[in-house]
């Protein structure tokens, strides 16, 4: 039995159509030039390819291509958004007093860690909103946490562990009469749910190509132009990307991102319906094992995510015993100790259930045979461990 891949939320395989487009940008007989080389055809062709990719991603997000800033991925985009907003206020606007950021206790570490850094180094106070038992953040929580000095609200559109979907448009509406900017980590959203920066009315949004069948190491930050959002650059050295992010652009990666965005725009609705049916079948099969708990909301969630906890088994042994099923553990390794998932703890799971939580994530290449095989293997392992 070959290993079954159920970790699409961690990364997706590059779609063969994307890989083909990328390969054409690598060698001497392809489009290998530096997009910043303006003095010859090789550079012009590379720049044209990069700008075509910018348009493809912008079209997917309902954005202006000039609002797309290339980065190395969502982690860099999150850092640029969070630190860039605060440092611009400190340096350009000469704001001296404490600033305030609102985020949630179940954000990705790529948001929580920059927030900790800003607390330590930039006199920023951070409010961590607590989700309900289903992993949802109520927009009213944001309104209740707002202060006069709140400069930024940062919430993920789709939670990376639970798959729960935040009502971003409702959060944005609550900020209409407040100067705070709204940043959305959409790494888990793009390619899984419809994403529309105009309908959501966001100021900043992070995107990662390898979450929607593009290559690793490339992503983007949406930066609203009207009204213009101003950021302090975090990487200097040439003033690329309208001064917000310097560095030679990787033509092949950006072409891959653009092609991946194009495919999502054409196929997402069909993919989502098929994947949701597979996810529901997987949940029914796992639930039948007994003493299995769904982590996250049964309705307000991504079709791609299924997070469950198995009572009566040791989490580490469970994960080690599922060598034939590639899933993500609800536990996070920290030095020599293994701590339960902070996301599962935040929604009220006990240490035992948080340790025994597994994230199954499905994708474009998941088949019905994969679902049947996963149900059989997990049932066999859990029954054996309980027995």
State pLDDT tens for residues 94-134: 999 999 999 999 999 999 999 999 999 999 999 999 999 99
Segment 352-359 shows an average pLDDT of: 95
Span of 47-61, 199-213, 236-250, 331-345 with lowest mean pLDDT: 331-345
With a cut of 50, say whether residue 299 has pLDDT above it.
Answer: yes
- The chain-wide mean pLDDT, for the chain, equals 96
For residue 333, name the pLDDT band (cuts at 50, 70, 90): very low
Nearest to 154 by CA among 244, 85, 70: 85
CATH of region 4-11+268-386, choose from 3.90.1570.10, 3.40.1350.10, 3.90.1150.10, 3.40.50.720: 3.90.1150.10
State pLDDT tens for residues 14-30: 999 999 999 999 999 99
The alpha carbon dihedral of 313, 317, 320, 323 has a sign of negative
Question: Tell me, which fold does domain 16-263 have in CATH?
Answer: 3.40.640
Active-site annotation, residues: 333
Prediction pTM value: 0.96
State pLDDT tens for residues 171-180: 999 999 999 9
Nearest to 122 by CA among 93, 91, 147, 143: 91
pLDDT at 186: 98
For residue 336, name the pLDDT band (cuts at 50, 70, 90): very low
- Ordered by start, the domain boundaries in the chain are 4-11+268-386, 16-263
pLDDT at 331: 40
Segment 139-159 shows an average pLDDT of: 98
Span of 22-26, 108-112, 315-319, 342-346 with lowest mean pLDDT: 315-319
Task: Tell me how far apart the alpha carbons of residues 130 and 299 are, in angstroms, rounded to a whole number.
Answer: 20
Residue 248 bridge partners (DSSP): none
State pLDDT tens for residues 152-166: 999 999 999 999 999
pLDDT at 339: 82
Give me 41's structure tokens. 């055809």
How many alpha carbons fall within 13 Å on the CB side of residue 268? 17
> Which element (helix H / strand E) includes 102?
strand 99-104
| Contact status, residue 79 vs residue 71, Cβ threshold 8 Å | no
Segment 195-219 shows an average pLDDT of: 98
For residue 1, name the pLDDT band (cuts at 50, 70, 90): low
DSSP string, 266-284: HHHHHHHHHHHHHHHHHHH
With a cut of 70, say whether residue 330 has pLDDT above it.
Answer: no
| Contact status, residue 54 vs residue 190, Cβ threshold 8 Å | no
Percentage of the residues of the chain whose pLDDT score is greater than 70: 97
> Which element (helix H / strand E) includes 183?
strand 181-185
pLDDT at 329: 85
For residue 2, name the pLDDT band (cuts at 50, 70, 90): confident
Whether the bond between 17 and the residue before it is cis, its omega within 30 degrees of 0, is no
């Amino acid at each position: 039995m070959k290993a079954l891949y159920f970790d699409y939320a961690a990364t997706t395989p590059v779609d063969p159509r994307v890989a083909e487009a990328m390969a054409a940008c690598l060698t001497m007989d392809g489009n290998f030039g530096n997009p910043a080389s303006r003095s010859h055809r090789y550079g012009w062709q590379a720049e044209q390819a990069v700008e075509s990719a910018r348009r493809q991603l912008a079209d997917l997000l309902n954005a202006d291509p000039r609002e797309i800033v290339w980065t190395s991925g969502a982690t860099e985009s999150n850092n640029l958004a969070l630190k860039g907003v605060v440092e611009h206020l400190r340096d350009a606007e000469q704001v001296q007093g404490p600033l305030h950021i609102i985020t949630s206790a179940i954000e990705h570490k790529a948001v929580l860690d920059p927030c900790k850094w800003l607390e330590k180094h930039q006199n920023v106070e951070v409010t961590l909103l607590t989700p309900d038992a289903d992993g949802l953040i109520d927009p009213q929580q944001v309104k209740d946490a707002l202060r006069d000095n709140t400069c930024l609200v940062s919430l993920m559109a789709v939670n990376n562990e639970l798959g729960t979907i935040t009502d971003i448009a409702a959060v944005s509406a609550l900020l209409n009469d407040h100067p705070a900017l709204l940043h959305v980590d959409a790494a888990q959203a793009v390619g899984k749910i419809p994403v529309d920066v105009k309908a959501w009315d966001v100021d900043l949004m992070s995107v990662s190509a390898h979450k929607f069948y593009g290559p690793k190491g490339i992503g983007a930050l949406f930066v609203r132009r009207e009204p213009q959002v101003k950021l302090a650059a975090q990487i200097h050295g040439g003033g690329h990307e309208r001064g917000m992010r310097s560095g030679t652009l990787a033509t092949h990666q950006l072409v891959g991102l653009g092609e991946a965005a194009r495919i999502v725009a054409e196929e997402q609705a069909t993919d989502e319906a098929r994947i949701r049916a597979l996810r529901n079948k997987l949940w029914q099969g796992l639930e039948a094992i007994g003493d299995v708990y769904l982590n996250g909301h049964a309705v307000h969630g991504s079709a791609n995510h299924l997070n469950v906890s198995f009572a009566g088994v040791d989490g580490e042994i469970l994960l080690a015993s599922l060598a034939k099923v590639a899933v993500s553990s609800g536990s996070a390794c920290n030095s020599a100790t293994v701590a339960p998932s902070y996301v599962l703890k935040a929604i009220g799971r006990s240490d035992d259930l948080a340790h025994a939580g597994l994230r199954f994530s499905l994708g474009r290449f998941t088949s019905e045979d994969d679902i049947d095989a996963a149900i059989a293997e997990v049932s066999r392992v859990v029954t054996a461990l309980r027995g």
